[in-house]
Structure 1
Amino acid sequence: MRAIFAVVLLVGLGLAGFAVYMAQNYIEGYQSALAKERATKKPEIKTKEVYVVTRAMKYGEELTPEDVKLVKFPQEALPEGIFTTKEDLFPQGEEVGRYVVRAMEEKEAILAVKVTRPGEDAGLTTRLERGMRAFAIKVDVASGVSGFLRPGDRVDVYWTGRVKGMGGELGSDEVTKLIETNIRLIAIDQSADGEIEAGNVANTVTVAVKPQQVAALAQAQKTGDLMLALVGAEDDSIASVIEVDQRSLLGIEAPEEKIVERVEEEKVCTIKTRRGAEVVQIPIPCTN
């Protein structure tokens, strides 16, 4: 019996040792895999809650507490002018809302440049920068780029007319000249919304310019015709001085003026005297 007991004990101890060995290998493999996963795992992205709109909003719509909600954004990719608290977005209470001045899509972050101040109307004054003025220019299907203009676009302004001379008389040739470059449109007719229907031909466009430019455009509009040329969205070039008349357009050179020099004949004064039967003219200095 004792021999059988000893054999059973030895077998039990062997099985127990084998189980411990297998368990140790499993734990070590698990810990090694966990360490590798932790080593390859990307660092945690820090986020911050910011207010976004819950629906697409157009220019002029009122922004109310029902139109906003908090969403987590990556902290390193936050744009300037965000709102993180309701006190920042509605500092005067929920009854005093803001208005949208730039269209926003659903779940787009609300920025300070896209909404008015609390209680402020979404008029043109909110779209004018410091020192700028709004000026309206009359346009038609030709001068208004066939209805392709939108608020926010930039245009060059060309003037066509006849230049007056020193005496006030009009010149014989019309001249087209670039008078303003890269000025920003802030409204088309009575709409400052950039999502206006395509193809509509406007009667007037409103531009944001400096006071000196207002005077130049007013004078140009009164004395000739204005044409607009649309500037590309990615075009940062500055147009040079451009002036074209009929002669330069057709390649006709102006005739050279012949300069006739008048040569004054030298005046000779003489006196006549008689020498015997002969009359002789003797030159003398002229008194006049």
Structure 2
Amino acid sequence: MKTARIVVLAIAGVAGLAATYLASIGEQKPVAVAPPVVQLPTAEVLVAKTDIGLGQAVKQEDLQWQRWPAETASTAFLRHDTNPDAMKDVIGSIARFPFIVGEPIREQKLVKANGSGFMAAILPSGMRAISTEISPETGAGGFILPGDRVDVIFSRREKNPDKVGADVVSTEVLLSNVRVLAIDQAPKEKDGSNSLVGKTVTLELKPEQAETLARARQGGVVTLALRSIVDVNEKPDETSNSDHAPKRGESIRVVRYGVPSSQTTQK
């Protein structure tokens, strides 16, 4: 009797535990199912696979198609759905501006060379490239780099008619806010250097500005004054005949090696 009673109690205990377990399962809350991820529409955009430097010819290995959210794919980008032959069309173009890895390719930053040299390819329509001699003294100590903006200052020494043996130095801003295309034959800074000492500078000028500079080179000394980078969007003056150019007899402020001084032009 005692053994049978123990068996009955054991069976009852196991049944109770099973009932408790089943009851706890029934009371559990259902597991929340995560909502499906919404797939945003994408578009394949032509981007730079490697860094593309200024003046570099674009090769096939420099390019790749990359998926972008369609909403952020600007119409200025080259998209596969609207221009499937864009990669083929871009190959062989010259980079007017550098590209970094992953940057979308834009036609505005490229130019078709069509057999022309690099400088002719990057020169904007209607502009001229003209070179003039420089030295550390006339080129801001070598701190002028391709892409910078400069003022061209013209100086000449003349005899003073009022005083025998004394010369008068006249100075004027010949051209204002013009772009430097190259120093010697370097269209870009070398190895990230912050200075580039050369003997020749090539400037981007309008035809009439080029004539003005060519005449000035025959009659005096041409000096370049480096402008601030914030002046890049400032409208450049045409020649020294503008209202902003100093007139003879006026005092102008000249900065040499960071030291300002005043000079008076010839009356």
Bin for the TM-score computed over the shorter chain:
0.5 to 0.7
Q: Take 2:120 and 2:263, find their aligned partners in 1: how far apart are those partners?
A: 45
Q: Take 2:212 and 2:113, find their aligned partners in 1: how far apart are those partners?
A: 36
**Equivalent residue in structure 1 for 2:44, among 38, 46, 49:** 49
* 8 Å CA contact 1:99, 1:120 repeated in 2: no
Where do 1:216-235 residues align within 5 Å? Answer: 216-235=212-231
Instruction: Decide which moves more: 76-85 or 237-246.
Output: 237-246
Query: 2:118 corresponds to which residue?
Result: 123
1:22 has 2:18 as partner: no
Compute the displacement of 1:44 (Å).
6.1
Give TM-score scaled by structure 1 length: 0.62
Query: 1:158 corresponds to which residue?
Result: 153
Give TM-score scaled by structure 2 length: 0.66
* 8 Å CA contact 1:150, 1:194 repeated in 2: yes
Question: In 2 relative to 1, CA 80–174 (structure 1 residues): closer, same or farther, beyond 3 Å?
Answer: farther
Q: Could you tell me which amino acid in structure 1 is paired with residue 229 of structure 2?
A: A
* 8 Å CA contact 2:77, 2:105 repeated in 1: yes
**Equivalent residue in structure 2 for 1:82, among 48, 73, 77:** 77
* 8 Å CA contact 1:173, 1:246 repeated in 2: no
Q: Take 1:245 and 1:142, find their aligned partners in 2: how far apart are those partners?
A: 25
What is the Cα-based RMSD across aligned positions, in Å? Answer: 4.1
What whole-Å deviation, never above 9, does each CA across 1:100-152 have from its counterpart, x for those lacking one? Answer: 33332222222223333275555111222222111112111111112222222
Where do 1:164-179 residues align within 5 Å? Answer: 172-179=167-174
Q: Take 2:251 and 2:93, find their aligned partners in 1: how far apart are those partners?
A: 56
Gaps of 5+ in 1: 1-10, 166-170, 255-288
Question: In 2 relative to 1, CA 137–51 (structure 1 residues): closer, same or farther, beyond 3 Å?
Answer: same
**Equivalent residue in structure 2 for 1:207, among 195, 199, 203:** 203
1:98 has 2:103 as partner: no
Q: Could you tell me which amino acid in structure 1 is paired with residue 88 of structure 2?
A: F
Instruction: Decide which moves more: 147-156 or 106-115.
Output: 106-115
Q: Take 2:122 and 2:74, find their aligned partners in 1: how far apart are those partners?
A: 20
Question: In 2 relative to 1, CA 58–250 (structure 1 residues): closer, same or farther, beyond 3 Å?
Answer: closer
What whole-Å deviation, never above 9, does each CA across 1:261-282 have from its counterpart, x for those lacking one? Answer: xxxxxxxxxxxxxxxxxxxxxx
Q: Could you tell me which amino acid in structure 2 is paired with residue 124 of structure 1?
A: M
Query: 1:264 corresponds to which residue?
Result: none
Question: In 2 relative to 1, CA 203–46 (structure 1 residues): closer, same or farther, beyond 3 Å?
Answer: farther
**Equivalent residue in structure 1 for 2:246, among 208, 226, 242:** 242
Compute the displacement of 1:155 (Å).
0.8
| Identity rate, percent | 24
Q: Take 1:46 and 1:163, find their aligned partners in 2: how far apart are those partners?
A: 72
Q: Could you tell me which amino acid in structure 2 is paired with residue 182 of structure 1?
A: N
Compute the displacement of 1:181 (Å).
0.9
Q: Could you tell me which amino acid in structure 2 is paired with residue 202 of structure 1?
A: G
Question: In 2 relative to 1, CA 243–75 (structure 1 residues): closer, same or farther, beyond 3 Å?
Answer: farther
Q: Could you tell me which amino acid in structure 1 is paired with residue 95 of structure 2?
A: V
Q: Take 2:181 and 2:149, find their aligned partners in 1: how far apart are those partners?
A: 9
Q: Please tell me whether Structure 1 or Structure 2 has the larger radius of gyration of its CA atoms.
A: 1
Q: Take 2:143 and 2:75, find their aligned partners in 1: how far apart are those partners?
A: 31
Gaps of 5+ in 2: 1-15, 161-165, 238-243, 253-261
Query: 1:190 corresponds to which residue?
Result: 185
Q: Take 2:71 and 2:229, find their aligned partners in 1: how far apart are those partners?
A: 28
Compute the displacement of 1:20 (Å).
9.6
Question: In 2 relative to 1, CA 49–241 (structure 1 residues): closer, same or farther, beyond 3 Å?
Answer: same
Size of the aligned set, in residue pairs, is 227
| Secondary structure in structure 1 of the residue aligned to 2:111 | coil
